[in-house]
Structure formats: structure tokens, C-alpha cells
Amino acid sequence: MRTLVVVESPAKVKTIAKFLPPNEFIVEACVGHIRDMPKSATQIPAKYKSFAWARLGVDVENDFEPLYVTVEGKGKVVLKLKSQLKQVDKLILATDGDREGEAISWHLVQALQPKVPTFRAVFNEITPSAVQSAFHNLRDIDMNLVKAQETRRILDRLTGFTLSPLLWKKIASRLSAGRVQSVALNMIVERERARLRCIPCEYFDAKALLMLDIKTKENAAAVSFEGRLTHVQGRRLAVGKDFDLYTGALSAAAEGADVYHMTNSQCGEIVQHVLEGKHDADQRLLVHRVERKRVRRNPPLPFITSTLQQEASTKLGLGAGACMRVAQSLYEAGYITYMRTDNPNMSKDALQAAKELVRSTYGEEYLVDSDEQEQQRVKNKTLSSKTKEKAKNKQEAHEAIRPAGFEFKSPAQLSSSLEGQELALYGLIYARSVASVMSQSVSDTTTVTIELQSSNARIHGSLFRVSGSVRVFEGFLRVYHDLEHQMTNEAKVALSDDEEMDAKASAIQLPPMEQGDKVLLQSLEPLAHVTKPLPRFTDASLVKELETCGVGRPSTYASVIETLITRNYVRRVSSSETSALVGGGGADLRAQRSTRLPLAPLLVSFAVNDYLCAHFPNLVNVEFTARMEERLDRIASGTDNRSAYLSEFYLGDSGLALQARASEESVDKQDARRVVLPTGDRLRQMDVEVFVGSWGPYLVCRRVLPGVVTAKQNGNSALQVEAEEEKVSLPVDILADELMPERIDALLSFARDPTLGKDPVTGLSVLLKTGRYGPYIQLGHPEDYEGKGQKPRCVGLLRGMDPSGVDLETALRLLSLPRELGHHPESGDVIKVFNGRFGPFIQMGDSISVSLRPEDDLLHLELDRALELIEEKVSGVGGLHDALALNRKVGEIDGDEVHLASGKFGPYLKHLGKIYRLPKDLDAKTLNIDDAAACIRNDNARSKTKSTTKAKAGTAKIAKTKAGTRKVAASESGKPKTEKEGGEAKAVKAKRGSASAKGTDSKKQERSLVGTSKATRQAAGDTGKKRGRPQAAGIIGRSPTGE
């Protein structure tokens, strides 16, 4: 008896196949979804194209039934699985245990129409015991989960496919809107608007370096410590929270509390008075008050999906998407439990394993007191004030994310199997899981208030505050400290925010002090501060905000953030990024990959957000979207009606369809494309407006032209004036806070007179222009190249370069790039300097390239400096000789060059745009063209054999079997097969007659999971009989299709 096991990914196939006898099990991957709604008009079957709802892929006239087609490229997968079904006696669907996984299993049943008993297996981790347990506890497909996924999919489809075309028509192409995406965009844009409205305010205090007077204090150590001036003349000095961000003045509450806003000059006077009286007998510093407090810090809870994404972003620089990809690979390889979960609890066995690890490694004192206290702590923290109402909607089918198995392996134990991001993320998960069962960290904090007594009334009674902390017991922090020592530099894991803060505080130790002790002043200096606007969202903080508001689900956050970035709604910005005068155009692409950086909205985001807020306010409203999630959960549990809700949402009197029609008819394109900013008054004073379109953002400036007297008004001459509009392109990545008057003036100036001078070599004009991607230098006008088959040469400005400072000499140096510096004295290779996509670099021959340092000047770099950088590079690989041996042109094959290069994973060959790995037994340093040709030939032969084998097993062999099957194969040639096509005949042929015999509409059943109750039960494997646990190894049961 053989069983076919279907999982989602090939990686999971390799892991699970190790645990199962190959003569009893066939393990295959469906590689994600095999059916979905049509993504484009070309995928809509011809028989449905005439229907008004076809573009949506949802029959809004018939209970919102979705239209499914085979996903492009998945026809071969279906054919292969059907072929293997003929060789087995049972089918087990082992896709992921969330809504998506359940839906994939249901779609597999609909596509495969199996005639063998079919069951569902779910495991939280890929270990032998977990897989074995799942196979002994098989169940049917959970139709509630399938309905939940399908309802959300329909809702997302209705929203996206209704709003996105409107955005294309009214604003620009390639834009999109979505149920969660648009709310996230609204959060980012409104935060930026609040930042733009902020008026910065400067305020001052002073920093003192102090020391106990050892002459008056026995056994006192001469230890210096730092204090801050907090009160002057009995009034508390203002801090950032005391100011109104939008007025730049003290808030009403601070004014009422008599808070003192100290200016630069006032602070200077205070410091001068104190320093002048430093040696006066009547001026002294005395300890006024000492407050001691014991602080206990609870360990963090184990990771759930959202907290893992936040921590990975903050500590590892992994975006939500990258975090989930790395976690997925760890899960599929059997290193961690399932990574999509809202449940912060670990199973009892896992808790026991973690505690045993702590007990054996650190001792009993490092363990949490009891299981009851641990569970109560988890419950209390989970049901915090902001999440109590939302907790009831959480998916808690899976336990928390933790190391797989019941013997947690440390990162050090896995360092030979994992590396880089995988090892770093595993380290975070390991530390968090172990720390969650450990005891609290305990610290003693001391706050000392020191009073200045003086005969000078201006400074008498001033107070300084000093704080310090001493850790009494490490508790759970121990595992984090150990982890830092275990990890390699490539996978270094920092402490989490709370632990890092606690560690820093513990480093500040104060000498023992009591009230009345005398303190000496060593130095005093003023400190300037400026109020800051609210911070922009990062990946981590946006995920936290979405989760707190109950918008979307953690599993969707990664795709939402990636969509906002890929659609050019937002970009990452660093505090050190220097924007060009005309606004960006030089965002560092390497910085864009660091998810610790804030997400800043581009101008198109303001236009899209304003359009949606004005015409579809519910879809960007946090509370509406949160209520939508709650109602979707009720639909999933069967306590609400799906059709009624979707009808109300889309077809109701204030439904989406009606709103979209009204918007399309009434909204003017120019109004929709206008960008309204809080700084608009400054722009209006300049007669300038900002717009966005398909070619990016641009300025429209009205230039007034004097005319002539054309009429008399009330006996007076009236001057008729004319105006013309001048349009100036803006860089596509310009930010709203970069649109300052001086920058706009510069833009207009460049647009009106871009000529810097003449090129002495060609005699052509050298122009400074601004385009969609920022400022650039252009050599000559297009007409200068007419008849020559050429275009003007253009080169972008360097990152951070101020266009207003670009003169003819600088422009000519830019046009000279790439510039030859000379030859290497040993090899004779030409050395050139380039300005590349990822920054400036030097290239030696065809082999060695080295990035310039931040301090190097690309335009004035000389040969000597280039040789230094090359020497530093090659010294790490054994010197110049070895570096050249590993990075060189090997020769040619049929006139096409073959290059040898060294990369992160060793040497490799490059030929015709393809990469070929070298065999381990081949010495790359002595490689010749014959060796390279053999490697390329063998690699191509292996690829060809693999492709041929797949084709034979998948398409060629199966396409000859049945007419019905040939029909499926034909769908791969461009006509996606739907469940309506070919399904009816197969249903009769397979004798799935229960539903049809009772009058069930088979078309309706196959197009959607919504059908008669009998059809639904059949799809779930329930024929009306009482379901129970399958018996023994030879499991007896029915397939989800009722067989």
C-alpha cells in the first residue's frame, strides 16, 4: 500500500522524505497555489469574457462565486500529481496549517479529483515525531478555514480590482490599492503630514561632571559621574514633551505648571555664574535627596509572527518579507516550528524542554518560579489594554515560534549547518524561547538630586539629577549575553531593545551617597536640544501599529510593505542621506535594503491617499477595517452570512461599486493628480503647484506676461495680463520635506537656463538638467546629433552632490567617467574609476573591482590611492597573484568570452550571461579554457537531462492517456483551464453522483466552495456519517470528494 504525500515546497519534500519509507510513500510538492482567480484578461476563459463581472473574477450577480483557473505554469504540476495518484492507494495533503494551506489542499482536491481516500495532515514542526503524530491523526479538510481564506481573497479582489483601475485613469499607471495596503499607506502619509506641520523649537539645559568630595566622605572613591541640570530658581527646565509640536511653543499644560523654557543666552548665563563661583566659599553642591528602587524586568514572551518580524527588522535589518522567507526555510528544514501564528504559548513538552535546558545550563535559580506563574504572565501580557478586544480574533491553532523538537539546539551547535541570516534568525528565536521560561532580571536603580547653594540668587536652588543602576541578578538576560558570544560576526545578534537598555543602565554605577554629602563640580557645559517631529514608521513600527489597530493579519504584513515599496509609494531614507538640492535623485540602493531605515512616502502617495480619503473614506479608516476583520472572523466561524456581507460591501447603497462609479464620473484628473501638502502656503506664494502623473512628479509654475490695456472699468484703465504654465520634472524619489523654496528656485533656474558652458574638446554645450531620476549632466542638444545616429551623452550627479555647486569643471569631470587612472605596475592591467549603480568603484582590467571609501573623492582620485585600495582587497585572498588567478578572462568558446570570478560561495564561471559552478576537485587557479568548456558542457548536459526527465514524467507521458487529461495539458499552452471546463464530464465519469443525483449544480460546486450543504460536506470528506479518528495504519475513510 503506497501513499502520495503532497506538501507546498520542494525544500519540505527533501526534509519529510527522510522520515518516510520510500517504498511506502511518494512525497511531492505542489509549489504553492495551483488555482487562483484570473490575474489578467488573457487568463479569463472565452466563455466568461462576455460577463460584466469577468474582469473581477468574482460573479457578483450569483452569490459572489469566484472563478478559478489553473495558475500559469502549474498545469505540469497537476499532470504529474494525477499520474502519481494512479500508483497509490491513499492521498495525504500536508500543506501548511493556516488558512492558505487549507485552501491549497481544497484546491488540490478540486483539481486532482482523486479516486482514492484523501486526508489532511497538519504538523507544527517538521520533525520525525511531529510528522508521525500528524499521520496518525489524519483529518478532513476544514471547510471553515477554506471559507475564511476564500472570503478574504474575494474581498481583497473586489477592493483591488475596483480601485486600482480608477487610480490608473485618474492619477498614474502601475498604482494599486488594497484592503490592508491602503490603510497602511494612510498611516504613513498622515504621519508624514504631521511631521511637515511640526515647527522645531530649540531649548537648553546643561551637563555637569561631578565627583564626591573625598575629604568630607570617608572611604569615598574619586569617581566622576555625570549629572543634568533640571531646575533653576525652583522651576523645572523644559524637555521635549513640554512643547506643542505644531506651534513650536510650550504646551498649555507646561505653561500651567510654570515650566521654564531656557534659551541659549539664558543657559550661557547660568553656566557662567556657576563656573565663576566654583571656588567661592559660599557656593557648594550638596546631596539633597537619594531615591533607591529595585526594578524587576520580565522576560519577553516567545515569538509570534508579528513580534518576530519586528525583532528581525530592528536587530537584523530583515524586512518583514525577508524575515518570513528565512523563517520559512528554517521551518522547512526542520529547525523551527511553524512561523505563522498569533499564539505566544509553547506546548507543555516544549516548555519542559526549555526549562530543562535552563536548569542544566544555568541552574535552578534562573528558572521562572512555576508553570502557573508563567501561564498567567503570558495571559496578562497577551490581553494587554490595547489588545483585549482584538485577542478574540487571533488564530491560535499553532503554538509560538520556537526551535523544533524537544531538545533545543543552540546556535553554536548549528553553526556548521546554518550561516548568515538563517543562523542569526534562529539565534533570535532560540534566545527568545529559552528566555521566556527564565526568571526576571533584577537591578537596583539610584536617583540622586544635588542642590546648588549660593549667594547668587540667579543660581541658588538649582538642582542637578544623577541616575545609575547596578544589576543584582541577570536572570533571562544571561541567555542573550551568551548568545552574543556564540554567534559569528556574519550572524551577530544584538540584545533586544529592553535588554540593551537595561544593559546600558547597569553600566552606570554611582558611588555610595547620602543626604548632605558634599559634591565637587569638575565641569559644566550647555547642551542644546531641538524638538523633533514624530518618527517615521519603520518596518517594525508599522507592523506593530497595524497589529495594535487590528488591521490585517501578521501573515499579510510582509507583502503589504513590499507592495508599498515596489509600487514606489514609499522609500527607505537614512538620517545620513544627503539629498540633492533639487530633491533626491540619489537614494542609496544599498541603504534601501536596510529595513531599520524609516519608510518615507513619495509624492504620489499623497495624491493617492487624498483621492481614497475623499471618495472611499471607509477603505482607509482603521476602525472600519478592524471591524471588517472581526466580521470576516465571524463568517469563518459560521456566525455571519458571507453573501449578505459581500453584497452589502460591494453592491449596497453606499457600496464600493456605486462609490467607484460616482468617482469615475465626477473626479477631474487634474484635481486627482494635485499633491496637497501642509507646506502648500509657501508654494502658493511662489505660484507653484505640485502634481504627479504617469511620468512621475512635476511642478507647474505660472509665469505672468504683461499685456496691453484692453478695456475701461469704472473709468479706469484695466491692464490685461496673460500667464503661461511652465512644467518642470521632479525626481521620482523626491520627498515632501525636500520641496523647499530655495530648491524650487534652483529647479526653475535649471529648467530655464541649463547651460554651464562649452566642452573644449567637442565644442558642444554642457547642460545641467533635471529628469525623473534626478539632476544630470548632458553633453549637447539632440539637434547636435541629428544624422549621426546618436543621442546626447548623459551622466547623473554623484550621490549627495548639490546641483547649485556644479560648475563647468565639475560637469566635465563627470562626463569623463569612466576615467583611466593608469596601469598596475606589476600586472600592467589598466585601472579605471567608475560611478556605478551602487556607488563609485575602481576596476583593474577585467578582473578586480574595489569600492571607494566614503572619504575618497571620485572626481579627483589618483592612481596611487587606487593602488592602495587594490592592495587592501587582494591581501585578503593571498595577494595579487592569487586574486588575478581567481578573477580573469579564461578564453573564448565560439567567439564568446568565458570569465572566472570569485564570489561568496567560491569561484565560478560566467559565459553568455549564465553562471557555472566549478567542481570541488578542480583547482580554479590553474583553470584553462579546456577545463572551463568541459564544466560548461557537463553542466548544460545535466540541466538538459533534468528537463527531459521532468518533461517525460510530467507532460509527454500523461498527455497521451485520456481526452480529459489532454484537455488539461492544452490549458498550459495559453488557455487556463477552469473548473467549469472538463469538470462536468469527469464528475460523471468518476461516478461522483451523490451531489448530481440529488440535483446539485456541479458547475456551481466546482467554481466555488459555496454550494449545497451536501456538496460542501462532500468537499470536506463528510458524507453525512459521523466522523471519527481513522483506524490503525490502513486508514479507512472517504476522500474529500466523497469517494
785 within 8 A of 773, measured Cβ to Cβ: no
pLDDT band, very low/low/confident/very high, at 580 (cuts 50, 70, 90): very low
280 plus 355 within the same structural domain: no
CATH number, residue 363: 1.10.290.10
pLDDT band, very low/low/confident/very high, at 904 (cuts 50, 70, 90): low
Share of the chain above pLDDT 70, in %: 79
Q: What is the pLDDT of residues 118-177, one digit of tens each?
A: 999 998 899 899 999 999 999 999 998 898 889 999 999 999 999 999 999 999 999 999
550 plus 662 within the same structural domain: yes
Burial class (CB within 10 angstroms; exposed 0-12, middle 13-18, buried 19+) of 135? buried
Q: Which residues contact 778 (CB under 8 A, 6 or more apart)?
A: 754, 766, 767, 768, 769, 792, 793, 794
514 plus 572 within the same structural domain: no
Is 843 inside a domain boundary? no
Q: CA 710, CA 717: separation in Å to the nearest integer?
A: 8
Angle, helices 181-197 vs 603-615, to 10°: value is 110
Q: CA 131, CA 958: separation in Å to the nearest integer?
A: 31
Q: Residue 581 pLDDT more than 60?
A: no
Number of H helices, E strands in the chain: 34, 32
C-alpha cell at 450: 544635588
Measured CA angle at 775 (ends 772, 778), to 5 deg:
100
Q: Residue 522 pLDDT more than 90?
A: yes
98 plus 69 within the same structural domain: yes
The mean pLDDT of 427-433, rounded to a whole number, is 95
Q: Residue 345 pLDDT more than 80?
A: yes
Q: What is the pLDDT of residues 497-513, one digit of tens each?
A: 445 545 554 556 788 88
222 plus 252 within the same structural domain: yes
Q: CA 502, CA 471: separation in Å to the nearest integer?
A: 9
Nearest 10 degrees: Cα torsion 653, 656, 662, 663 = 150
Which range has the worst mean pLDDT, 83-87, 123-127, 940-944?
940-944
CATH number, residue 631: 1.10.460.10
Positions marked catalytic:
338
Task: Tell me what pLDDT residue 553 has.
Answer: 82
pTM: 0.75
Q: What range does the domain containing 319 cover?
A: 305-439
Is 257 inside a domain boundary? yes
Q: Residue 717 pLDDT more than 60?
A: no
Phi (first) and psi of residue 672, to 5 degrees: -70, -30
Q: What is the pLDDT of residues 718-727, one digit of tens each?
A: 555 555 678 8
Task: Tell me what pLDDT residue 429 has.
Answer: 96
C-alpha separations of 386 from 159, 257, 618, 842, 885 in Å: 28, 30, 22, 54, 62
Check residues 297 and 380 and name the one with the higher pLDDT.
Answer: 297
Q: What is the pLDDT of residues 841-896, one digit of tens each?
A: 988 877 677 888 878 888 989 999 988 888 877 765 555 555 565 667 778 888 88
Measured CA angle at 657 (ends 651, 658), to 5 deg:
90
Within 13 Å, how many C-alpha atoms sit on residue 373's CB side? 11
User: Kind and range of the H or E element at 1019?
Assistant: helix 1013-1019
112 plus 177 within the same structural domain: no
Check residues 634 and 358 and name the one with the higher pLDDT.
Answer: 358
Burial class (CB within 10 angstroms; exposed 0-12, middle 13-18, buried 19+) of 73? exposed
Check residues 467 and 1018 and name the one with the higher pLDDT.
Answer: 467
Q: Residue 631 pLDDT more than 90?
A: no
Q: Residue 336 pLDDT more than 80?
A: yes
186 plus 266 within the same structural domain: no
Task: Tell me what pLDDT residue 226 has.
Answer: 93
DSSP code for 366: G
Residue type (1 letter), 902: S
282 plus 391 within the same structural domain: no
Reduce the secondary structure of 697-733 to three states and give it as a string. EEEEEEEEEEEEEEEEECCEEEEEEEEEEEEEECCCC
Is 736 inside a domain boundary? no
Q: CA 399, CA 863: separation in Å to the nearest integer?
A: 60
- Which of 576, 637, 572, 619 lies closest to 600 in space, CA to CA? 572
Q: Residue 235 pLDDT more than 70?
A: yes
- Which of 1020, 1021, 1022, 982 lies closest to 1002 in space, CA to CA? 982
pLDDT band, very low/low/confident/very high, at 266 (cuts 50, 70, 90): very high
799 within 8 A of 588, measured Cβ to Cβ: yes
Task: Tell me what pLDDT residue 379 has.
Answer: 55
Is 434 inside a domain boundary? yes
User: Kind and range of the H or E element at 529?
Assistant: strand 518-530
- Residue 282's CB: how many other CB atoms inside 10 A? 10
Is 372 inside a domain boundary? yes
Edge-to-edge strands, sheet with 25-29: 25-29, 3-7, 90-93, 118-120
Q: What is the pLDDT of residues 437-472, one digit of tens each?
A: 999 999 999 999 999 999 999 999 999 999 999 899
The mean pLDDT of 663-681, rounded to a whole number, is 90
CATH number, residue 277: 2.70.20.10
User: Between the ranges 315-329, 968-982, 986-1000, where is the mean pLDDT highest?
Assistant: 315-329
- Which of 508, 539, 518, 506 lies closest to 450 in space, CA to CA? 518
Q: CA 84, CA 26: separation in Å to the nearest integer?
A: 8
User: Kind and range of the H or E element at 843?
Assistant: strand 839-844
Phi (first) and psi of residue 519, to 5 degrees: -120, 140
The mean pLDDT of 759-768, rounded to a whole number, is 91
The mean pLDDT of 395-415, rounded to a whole number, is 85
Within 13 Å, how many C-alpha atoms sit on residue 414's CB side? 25
Residue type (1 letter), 782: P
Average pLDDT, the chain: 81
Q: How many domains does the structure of the chain reveal?
A: 4
Which range has the worst mean pLDDT, 8-12, 23-27, 998-1002?
998-1002
The mean pLDDT of 968-972, rounded to a whole number, is 38
251 plus 357 within the same structural domain: no
15 plus 137 within the same structural domain: yes
The mean pLDDT of 569-582, rounded to a whole number, is 64
Phi (first) and psi of residue 753, to 5 degrees: -145, 85
11 plus 119 within the same structural domain: yes
Share of the chain above pLDDT 90, in %: 46
Task: Tell me what pLDDT residue 1038 has.
Answer: 28
DSSP code for 125: B
Is 322 inside a domain boundary? yes
User: Kind and range of the H or E element at 190?
Assistant: helix 181-197
574 plus 613 within the same structural domain: yes
Task: Tell me what pLDDT residue 445 has.
Answer: 93
Is 160 inside a domain boundary? yes
Is 965 inside a domain boundary? no
CATH number, residue 29: 3.40.50.140
Q: Residue 839 pLDDT more than 90?
A: no
Q: Residue 403 pLDDT more than 80?
A: yes
